Amino acid sequence: MAFILGIFDTKDYETWKQMFDSDPAGRKEAATRHRVFRGVDNPNEVFVSVEFPSVEAAETFRERLLASGALANVTVEKEPTLAELVDETSY
pLDDT for residue 13: 96
45-68: per-residue pLDDT in tens?
999 999 999 999 999 999 999 999
- Domains of the chain in start order, with CATH, are 2-84 (3.30.70.100)
**25-45 exposure pattern, b = at least 16 Cβ within 10 A, e = fewer:** bebeebbeeeeeeeeeeeebb
Dist CA 54 CA 30 (whole Å)? 10
Dist CA 63 CA 82 (whole Å)? 11
pLDDT for residue 73: 85
pTM (two decimals): 0.90
14-42: per-residue pLDDT in tens?
999 999 999 999 999 999 999 999 999 99
Q: What is the mean pLDDT of the chain?
A: 95
